[in-house]
Amino acid sequence: MNFAVLQFPASNCDQDAVHAIRMLGHSARLVWHKDASLGEADCVIIPGGFSYGDYLRTGAIARFSPVMQAVKQFADNGGLVLGICNGFQVLTEAGLLPGALIRNRDLQFHCEFVHLKTVTTDSPFTNQIPADKILRVPIAHGEGCYFADEETLANLKANNQILWQYCDATGNLTDAANPNGALQNIAGICNETRNVAGLMPHPERACEPLLGSDDGQFIFESIFAALKDKAVAPAA
């Protein structure tokens, strides 16, 4: 499988994403934000960081990069796109995912491990996560508080678009386990057609036991499995 990992000025998890994907046995390459084409890609990763210095709003400037036009087209054609942290912010700004990420409720930057409950395994990003498995993955953000208006939130729930929620070590969705004040402890969502997803935690930083957890592998393995299914499916 070929992964295109976008690189904006001040992306800082791009190399981590490339490393994790290659370590898991697939090919990954960086695509510069000024490129108007993604080249050959089965999946696009929009990595974490502080694209364009987080000027104006997080992700606000990055969404107008030439490469984002290509990503939009790729997503419209059903391609898999995963935004991690700043990548999630870019996807909401670009309108590829609903809602917005705002300042953490305590105004602090949080850099710590969190626990995640996977709400549904019915997505290309969660299909290999065992039922009831609580993922332990790090976060590192100042603007990760997920917000959406009531109607959007109701739609997310009705369409089963909430993929991950912050929980405690035993899976309870408590307020104390919510690091940023996100509505309904939301850590990650997907779009209605389920091919675009974003999450604030960093699975690419949790793919090796040496890094404190390898739970992030479940998310990448889900993508690999989804792409494999797609590859063997008869052409529409």
Pick from 92, 118, 191, 195 the residue near another protein by CB under 8 A: 92
The CA-atom distances, in angstroms, between 228 and each of 26, 110, 195 are 12, 35, 14
C-beta of 104 vs 195, nearer to another protein:
104
Nearest approach, Cβ of residue 201 and another protein (Å) = 20
Cα 9 from chain centre? 19
Q: Of 13, 85, 190, 207, which residue is the catalytic one? A: 85
Nearest approach, Cβ of residue 64 and another protein (Å) = 7
User: Is residue 202 flagged as an active site residue?
Assistant: yes
Cβ–Cβ under 8 Å, residues 179 and 167:
no
Q: Which of residues 140-199 bind another protein (CB under 8 A)?
A: 145, 147-149, 181
Q: Which of residues 106-135 bind another protein (CB under 8 A)?
A: 106-107
Q: Report the distance separating Cα 100 and Cα 52, nearest Å.
A: 18
Q: Report the distance separating Cα 25 and Cα 118, nearest Å.
A: 24
Who contacts 51 (Cβ-Cβ below 8 Å, separation ≥6)? 8, 9, 10, 11, 33, 58, 59, 61, 62, 86, 90
What totals of helices (H) and strands (E) does the chain contain, helices first? 5, 11
Q: Of 33, 115, 141, 202, which residue is the catalytic one? A: 202
Q: Which of residues 52-71 bind another protein (CB under 8 A)?
A: 56-57, 60-61, 64
User: Is residue 204 flagged as an active site residue?
Assistant: yes
Binding site for another protein (CB under 8 A): 56-57, 60-61, 64, 92-93, 99-100, 102-107, 145, 147-149, 181
**Residues forming the active site:** 85, 202, 204
